[in-house]
Structures are given as structure tokens and as C-alpha cells.
Copies of this chain bind each other. A is one copy, B any other.
Amino acid sequence: MLPPSVGDMDVTVPTAELAETAGNAVRVLSGRVVDPVLSGLLISAESDGFVLAGTDRERSFHARCPGVTRRGGRVLVPGRPFAETLRALAEPEVRLAVEGARLAVRTAGGRFALPLLDIDFHPGVDEPPQVVGTVAGSVLAAAVPPVAAAASSDETVPAFTGIRVRSEGERLVLVATDRYRLAVCSLPWEPRRGGLDVLVPAAVLAETARQVRGTSRVSLHHTAGDAERVALTWLESTVTSGVLASPFPDEAKFFSAEAECSVTVRADVLAASVRRVAPYAGPYSSITLEVGDGEVWVRGSDPSTGEAEERVEVGICGERVSRAYRATYLAEALNAYGEATIRFGMRGIRQGSIITAVDARPGGIELRYLVMPLVPR
């Protein structure tokens, strides 16, 4: 028996746009599903439009694409091969047509026929929950990556793989930590109704932020209750994700203590120095920042690899202290600030050092980054 399709679809679509949408869908869905039906993309062609959708039960993707429908229908095809086939094509338009147990992607001189999956077993893609507010696409795209980079990819402690998204009036606050560093980003948003305080998987939020780059407004959706979910919608696209149910620390307590020493420096200048010294940082990858008069010495040493030190000119306020950091954490924290001038506040040896930008960032984004020093052995 042929896997059922509904109707025998025949549509013509612009290749590049469909390829991008299919690629976006595949990147949102985790690809670690056991059930092949969940690796499929639902393709629906109706007279009023063309829709691509998919779900891995935790996340789902739904987007409309332009297209001219000759005959309507709905099919389920393997997602990744469909996206890769489209991406490789140079023709401006392709025709999608159901032919027996295949969906054929047809070009002037070619035919790429994907097996149909059994659409009856697909759970379908839910409607997004209700809108709780909106945010500018460019602001979300800039705010999420440095926060997502501070999250952990170790899923044994799920809370640390998430980004806490919390509304505070006209501001939306994103927080992530892997215990060794913590990033907090506050950005402007327009709340619609109620508040928001959810823990969203960092990977899906990072991928969605990448996709909304060129968009003017992104809507945030949320429903509490049994199946707590969040969604982001923009233009004709929707990404939905389940939320993490883990408790998440309140970040405010980590920022209470005053800095003993505050260093003002361009983030990229200090980051470049850290990068050069890092190969000398030894097996524990330990880089020391030693504050002198108008300068910071960036140091690394190890009996077998040798020693390196570089002097970076900085502004100083407070005591002359010295702190060691893991090279990669320090470099990633600094990279989050690009070429901005930062204030690097060193506090007690068991308290995180706090990085903030000296000048306001474009889009009203405020990023605070906390990186834990290494306790001397």
C-alpha cells in the first residue's frame, strides 16, 4: 500500500525561498528523533498558499511560502533530504508534484523524487499560543547569541542548557549560565498582556534569533498550564518550543557586591591578547590578569609550554589586584562585546568578575557578563 498523501499536489515555487525555509525548518527540529515520521516535513498546498511544517514533539516549525498551486494536497517527506535537494538547485523555480509514492522535485532537466512518509502517523503542528508581547527582530538577533554562548550543552543538568526569558515591564531579560559564567541581557520589548518568565532551550532560541535577523517585529507567545509552551512568530513563520521545567537561580544576587578594581579597556584589544597568550596557559588553561599602573598584564605559563605575557594599556579605578580565568571563558565573555569599550570589574576571589559596556549599545540592549575566576590552587 502506498503511504497516503492527501490530494495529488502540483505546485510551482521559487527555489531559493523554499530552500531557505526548508533549511530553517530542519535546523529548528532537533534531528535526534527515533520515529522517522518526526523527521518529516509536512508540505501543504492550497489555493490560498503553500505551507511547510514539522515537529519533533518538543519543537515545531510552521512557515508559509509563496507558490502557485495547480492542484492542492498535503504530503510528508524526509526533511533533511528535501532541504538539501532544494539548496543544491540553481534554477529559480521548481515544481513539486506527487507521483505515486514519491514527491517529485522537478526542474527543466531534472527530477528528484523523495519517498512519501505516512502522513496519518504525523501528530500535526499545533497553533502557537497567545501573544504576550513583541520585540524588534534585529534587537533579538543581537541579544540572544552572547547569552546562548554562556549556556551549557551538557544536558545532564537541563536548567543550564536554557535561557531564562523574563519580562520586567517594558524590558525583556535573557539570562543563561553554565555555573562558570553567567550572561544577562536586557532589551526593550512591547508587552501585550500578562508577564513572561520561562526557561527556553538555548539552542532553539539561538537558531530562531538567527532566522529573525532581517525582520522588523517578532511576536512572543506563551501559554502556561499542562503543556507549557513558548513560540516566536515573524512574517509567515512560527517556531514553537516546550519550556524547561527546571528551577533557575535568580541572577540579581550575583551582582550585589562592589568591584575592588575596575579596568576600562576595549574588549577586542584585551580579547586579542588573551588569544595570543592562551596557548601558553597550560593544562588548566589558566590566564592571569594582573592590574598594574595604567596597564593589565595578561599572563600564562606552564613548565612544559613556556610562558607568555602581554601588556595592555587600560584605565584603572580601585585597587591593584590579580585574578586568573579559564582562557576560553574569558575570551568568549570579551567576544560578546565586539569592539566596544568595557568595564571589567574584579571582585573577591570567590565572586565573579563583572563585564559591562561603558557606552550604551545600539537597540537599547544592555549586556552584563559575569565570569568566575579560578581559585588559586
Bound Cα distance from A147 to B273, whole angstroms: 42
Give Cα A107–Cα B298 distance, bound, in whole angstroms.
14
Q: Which of A237-261 contact B (CB under 8 A)?
A: none
Q: Are B110 and A308 in contact (CB under 8 A)?
A: yes
A110 contact set on B, CB distance < 8 A: 273, 276-277, 308-311
Q: How many of A's residues come within 8 Å of B, CB to CB?
A: 32
Query: 24 A-B pairs, CB-CB below 8 angstroms?
Result: A78-B305, A81-B279, A81-B280, A81-B306, A84-B279, A85-B276, A85-B308, A88-B276, A89-B276, A90-B272, A102-B306, A102-B307, A109-B310, A110-B273, A110-B276, A110-B311, A111-B310, A112-B307, A112-B308, A113-B306, A113-B307, A114-B305, A115-B304, A115-B306
Which residue of the partner chain B has the closest CB to A300?
A: B112
A312 within 8 Å of B by Cβ?
A: yes
Over the window 274-285 of chain A, the binary record of Cβ atoms lying under 8 Å from chain B Cβ atoms (1 yes, 0 no) is 011101100000
Say whether B305 contacts A81, CB under 8 Å: yes
Cα distance, A101 to B208, chains bound together (Å)? 53
Docked Cα-Cα span, A280 to B112, in Å, equals 8
Query: Across chains A and B, which 6 residue pairs bring their CB atoms closest together, nearest first?
Result: A110-B310, A109-B311, A112-B308, A88-B276, A114-B306, A113-B306
Structural contact, A88 and B275, CB atoms closer than 8 A: yes
A90 CA to B90 CA in the complex, in Å? 41
Chain B residues whose C-beta falls within 8 Å of the C-beta of A107 in the assembled complex: 310
Q: Please, which residues of chain B bring their CB within 8 A of the CB of A78?
A: 305
Whether the Cβ atoms of A276 and B115 lie closer than 8 Å is: no
Q: List the B side residues contacting A90 at CB < 8 Å.
A: 272
CA distance A97 to B229 in the complex (A): 62
Within 8 Å CB of A309, what residues of B?
A: 110-111
A115 cross-chain contacts in B, Cβ below 8 A: 304-306
Pick the contact of A111: B85, B279, B308 (CB < 8 A). Answer: B308
Question: Which residues of the partner chain B approach A307 to less than 8 Å between Cβ atoms?
Answer: 102, 111-113
Cβ-closest chain B residue relative to A82: B306
A276 to chain B, nearest CB (A): 4
Interface string of A307-348 (1 = CB under 8 A from B): 111111000000000000000000000000000000000000
A369 CB, nearest partner CB in chain B, Å: 24
Residues of B within 8 A of A311 (CB): 109-110
Nearest to A107 among chain B residues (CB) is B310
A99-134: CB near B (< 8 Å → 1, else 0) gives 000100001011111110000000000000000000
**Per-position binary interface string of chain A over residues 257-300, scored 1 when its CB falls under 8 Å from any chain B CB and 0 otherwise:** 00000000000000011011101100000000000000000000
